[in-house]
């Protein structure tokens, strides 16, 4: 069974997923970051593929991607760093990145490398859903790679139901139409969006991402979905701490609730 599917079948609520950018702050830190996150109780990890034009990302992740590229990170190098990760890491791992580097690598090659490294899924924010259905889904399914789709407050109910019908794993529920970045709270408009999606009784579990950085935003996300995805806040702490272990411990201390 795919590890993503297994996670959501065994843990229905309060799932914590952490995003980091491969190659930041050091080019060779990928495996170290993954192991530190798992060791500290993180349930799922999104490994960012650095790209020169990350349109959906705020300044924190943009800067991390720029530094990672300067450090020499590439998709080929990332797969090389991940080749032995399943010797001791058991939680679900996803790659998150933009379509351009994936297409340069070749989508079937990408899926094959994911399978060979034990990567369970991918998130490609700028992959059009119609292209996914027609050209990408059969290849991804052949290699057992879950392609996770995003929805936003602007996504129509009809489109959301169509996505829910034709994907599995989970749905990435973007908290707002803005770029990634920490927020102190979710306003009433965002919470109304969460209630709207809850009322749809979708087949797939959902994870809320974008803007989660403290116990308040974490609590709202977990109250309205299976869990939360934290990216920018962790990436910021990576830059402020001497090790991934110290960064995740500081993050979890700041999130301190009955969840963890």
Helix (H, G, I), strand (E, B) or coil at 235: helix
The verdict on whether 46 is a catalytic residue reads yes
Residues in the chain, overall count: 260
The verdict on whether 240 is a catalytic residue reads no
231 with 16: CB under 8 angstroms? no
Cα distance between residue 71 and residue 180, in whole Å:
23
209 with 228: CB under 8 angstroms? yes
Active-site annotation holder among 14, 57, 120, 168? 57
Active-site annotation holder among 9, 14, 28, 46? 46
Q: Cis bond leading into 25, ω under 30°?
A: yes
Cα distance between residue 185 and residue 180, in whole Å:
14
Cα distance between residue 112 and residue 67, in whole Å:
27
Give the residue from 71, 125, 129, 133 showing the smallest Cα distance to 101: 125
The token pair at 84 is: 């032995």
Neighbours of 164 (CB within 10 A): 18
Which residues are part of the catalytic machinery? 46, 57
């Amino acid at each position: 069974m795919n590890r993503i599917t297994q996670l959501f079948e065994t843990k229905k609520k309060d799932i914590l997923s952490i995003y980091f950018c491969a190659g930041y702050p050091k080019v060779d830190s990928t495996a170290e970051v993954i192991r530190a996150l798992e060791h500290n109780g993180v349930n799922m990890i999104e490994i960012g593929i650095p790209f020169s034009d990350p349109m959906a990302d705020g300044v924190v992740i943009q800067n991390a991607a720029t530094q990672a590229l300067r450090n020499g990170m590439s998709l080929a190098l990332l797969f090389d760093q991940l080749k032995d990760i399943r010797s001791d890491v058991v939680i679900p791992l996803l790659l998150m990145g933009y379509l351009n580097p994936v297409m340069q690598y070749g989508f079937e090659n990408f899926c094959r490398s994911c399978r060979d490294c034990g990567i369970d899924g991918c998130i490609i924010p700028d992959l059009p859903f119609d292209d996914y259905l027609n050209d990408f889904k059969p290849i991804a399914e052949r290699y057992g790679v879950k392609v996770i789709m995003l929805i936003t407050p602007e996504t129509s109910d009809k489109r959301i139901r169509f996505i829910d019908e034709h994907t599995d794993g989970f749905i990435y529920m973007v908290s707002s139409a803005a770029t990634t970045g920490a927020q102190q709270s979710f306003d009433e408009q965002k919470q109304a969006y969460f209630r709207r999606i809850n009322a749809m009784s979708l087949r797939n579990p959902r994870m809320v991402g974008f803007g989660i950085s403290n116990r308040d935003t974490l609590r709202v996300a977990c109250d309205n979905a299976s869990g939360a995805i934290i990216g920018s806040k962790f990436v910021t702490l990576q830059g402020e701490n001497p090790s991934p272990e110290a960064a995740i411990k500081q993050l979890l201390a700041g999130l301190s609730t009955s969840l963890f």
